Structure 1
Amino acid sequence: MSEAAAPTASVEIYTKWGCPYCSRALALLGRKGVDVTEYDITMGGPKRAEMLARAPGVSTVPQIFINGQHVGGSDDLAALDAAGKLDPMLAA
């Protein structure tokens, strides 16, 4: 039996304090053993502007990027996982 390779993808997530969807997404990524770069945009600022530029038309959190590709929010991440598409993205 071979073991699954450790996730090597670059994962970024924009969050706000107290957001249950952010917590859910971070928990899923944590179970996958992913190192996540988290940007807290609770108080707005340049990282919020960056998120809005990277994901035009989207203003809710979390917003998740894997290897620079926008995958959406918590529900989108869970759907990718349920469809068996998340692990290959994280291994890339």
Structure 2
Amino acid sequence: MTLTNLGGIGGTSFTPIVNWPEVAILGVSRGGWEPVYENSQLVPRFTLPLSLSYDHRIIDGADGARFLKWVCDAIEQPFMMELSE
């Protein structure tokens, strides 16, 4: 899998293209503060847009979604990943 980043040049959202012979690519955009509705109110939250593209002939969509959730969980709670090893 490949990791690509457009956040450094101000990219806020993009869809990375899988290049053969790779089977997946994770795109990282520029993070920033956004209002998020939580517990009946708007609160500021730092968000980091991620986009996962993968070859459906090799990777099932549900597996790709689970992997992206695992990446998000690892970013949100990095010390939990360290403790679980």
User: Which TM-score tier does this pair reach, normalised by the shorter chain?
Assistant: under 0.3
Q: Of Structure 1 and Structure 2, which has the larger fraction of its residues in strand?
A: 2
Q: Of Structure 1 and Structure 2, which has the larger fraction of its residues in helix?
A: 1
User: Greater relative contact order: 1 or 2 (C-alpha under 8 angstroms, separation 6 or more)?
Assistant: 1
Q: Looking at CA atoms only, which structure, 1 or 2, has the larger radius of gyration?
A: 2
TM-score (norm 1): 0.26
TM-score (norm 2): 0.28
